[in-house]
């Protein structure tokens, strides 16, 4: 015992040292983005949309603008008097790529997101930005807590580097991550609740792309039914708010714009892209080669998800974290703010793994934002490598338990291991 103490001490010191460096890098990332947040109230610059001299970031302003446009259009259909909307176009100045001449043409979300946009468009733009941020973080936190995660994990996940980027851009990464992870954790224990949360993800289907590999099993019939009912209700609500034309426009316009994004020059993909397809493009693969690699990745990761959900397990956190990693290898379309779920998964694994492996999960958590920094410096998208590393590490822990070796210190009780047979 005595002879092992120095080695153990060195390992502990090394882990603390690495975690300290990661903490410093996180604070640097946080400070940098806080400066960007403050600069949104300075003179206009390229990433910013302007409305009455208030400057919420471009992504949220487009969301707000779409909500206003939907409401005005619906009022005109119903022949309701509404002030002329020309002030919107004069006050809301949009900086967008040349291929997207109007902000409404850049709306790539399905019409199921429309009711949310309309709801928040009734609040003045600058205030609406902050109400949206508070509401999405609160909803995500409540769902994750109800699903069984601890508050420290929830806070660390939502305030990860990707979460900071999500706040800055006014995106929906925290909301969709909270719904996705909570659904995964509840499929076995609270199937109707988990299925309902899964149905809400029809607002952003690419986040939920792994769900068919899970829900199309006989033992998840209740979760699947709840998912379909909630999704159907969301679709009906979107038709009431936006009419059938909203779906026609989405089907005819968004596909071509998405294709332009996916086929964009390499320098336009970094630093935002996080998928295998985008990684291949940044390594100078042709569009056809990148899609072929993405197809192989999606099929392989999808089959693994299908296998790990074949039977119940007491290690729900490990299986959920593994599924989140694999979902990033399945989807062809994703950006930096979509990594909040990955960071929550890594925070959950950090909280339950051995001291030796904690720095690895902390580093993967940090990479939810720093892959963007790396891409800015190198034009290379490396996120799929980080996702694959996280998946392998989680699977390896499950394999260790299956072999009868003791789990890491702090792991919660006896667990049915995750296996890939």
| Total residues found in the chain within this entry | 421
Taking each helix axis from N to C end, the angle separating 316-330 and 340-352, rounded to the nearest 10 degrees, works out to 150
| pLDDT tens sequence for the chain (421 residues) | 444 555 555 557 777 888 889 989 999 988 888 877 776 655 444 444 444 444 456 678 778 888 887 887 776 655 555 554 555 555 554 443 333 334 444 567 889 999 999 999 888 777 888 899 999 999 999 999 999 999 999 999 999 999 998 988 888 999 999 999 999 999 999 999 999 999 999 999 999 999 999 999 889 999 999 999 999 999 999 999 888 888 887 887 766 666 666 666 665 555 578 999 989 988 988 888 999 999 999 999 999 999 999 888 888 999 999 999 999 999 998 889 999 999 999 999 999 988 888 999 999 999 999 998 998 888 889 999 999 999 999 998 876 665 555 444 334 444 444 544 3
In contact, 243 and 77? CB cutoff 8 Å: yes
Backbone phi, then psi, for 50, in 5-degree steps?
-120, 135
List 54's β-bridge partners, or say none.
51
d(CA 100, CA 168) in angstroms, rounded, equals: 22
Give the global pTM.
0.85
- Distance in angstroms (rounded) separating the CA atoms of residues 73 and 86: 13
> Which among 338, 341, 337, 294 has a CA at the least distance from the CA of 322?
341
**For 152-161, what is each residue's pLDDT tens digit?**
999 999 999 9
* Inter-CA distances, 274 with 24, 339, 378, Å: 24, 8, 14
Give pLDDT tens digits for 234-285.
Answer: 999 999 988 888 888 788 776 666 666 666 666 555 557 899 998 998 898 8
The pLDDT of residue 311: 82
**Under 8 Å between Cβ of 413 and 405:** no
Residue given tokens 């940098």 in the structure block:
32
Distances in whole angstroms, Cα of residue 152 to Cα of each of 144, 166, 316: 11, 19, 18
């Amino acid at each position: 015992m005595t002879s092992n103490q120095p080695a153990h001490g060195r390992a502990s010191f090394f882990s603390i040292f690495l975690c300290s460096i990661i903490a410093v890098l996180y604070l640097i990332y946080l400070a940098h983005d806080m400066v960007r947040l403050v600069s949104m109230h300075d003179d206009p610059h390229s990433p910013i949309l302007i409305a009455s001299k208030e400057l919420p970031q471009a992504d949220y302003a487009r969301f707000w603008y779409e909500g206003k446009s939907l409401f005005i259009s619906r009022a005109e259909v119903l022949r309701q008097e509404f002030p002329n909307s020309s002030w919107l176009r004069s006050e809301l100045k949009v900086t967008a790529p040349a291929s997207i001449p109007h902000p409404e043409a850049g709306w790539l979300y399905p019409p199921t997101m429309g009711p949310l946009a309309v709801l928040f468009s009734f609040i003045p733009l600058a205030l609406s930005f902050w109400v949206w941020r508070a509401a999405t973080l609160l909803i995500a936190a409540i769902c994750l807590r109800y699903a069984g995660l601890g508050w420290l994990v929830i806070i660390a996940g939502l305030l990860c580097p990707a979460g900071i980027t999500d706040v800055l851009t006014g995106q929906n990464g925290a909301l969709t991550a909270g719904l996705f992870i909570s659904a995964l954790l509840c499929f076995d224990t609270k199937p109707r609740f988990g299925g309902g949360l899964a149905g809400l993800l029809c607002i952003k289907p690419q986040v939920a792309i792994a769900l068919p590999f899970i829900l199309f099993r006989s033992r998840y019939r209740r979760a699947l039914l709840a998912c379909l009912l909630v999704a159907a209700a969301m679709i009906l609500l979107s038709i009431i708010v936006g009419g059938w034309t909203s779906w026609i426009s989405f089907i005819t316009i968004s596909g071509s714009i998405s294709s332009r994004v996916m086929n964009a020059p390499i320098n336009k993909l970094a630093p935002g892209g996080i998928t295998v397809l985008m990684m291949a493009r940044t390594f100078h693969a042709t569009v056809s080669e990148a899609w072929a690699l993405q197809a192989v990745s999606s099929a392989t990761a999808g089959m693994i998800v299908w296998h790990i959900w074949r039977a119940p397990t007491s290690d729900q956190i490990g299986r959920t974290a593994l599924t989140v990693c694999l979902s990033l290898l399945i989807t062809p379309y994703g950006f930096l703010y979509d990594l909040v779920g990955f960071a929550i998964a890594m925070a959950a694994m950090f909280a339950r793994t051995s001291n030796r492996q904690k720095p690895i999960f902390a580093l993967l958590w940090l990479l939810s934002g720093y892959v963007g920094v790396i891409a800015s410096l190198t034009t290379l998208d490396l996120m799929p490598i980080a996702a694959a590393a996280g998946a392998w590490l989680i699977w390896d822990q499950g394999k260790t338990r299956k072999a009868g070796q003791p789990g890491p210190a702090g792991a919660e009780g006896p667990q049915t291991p995750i296996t890939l047979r």
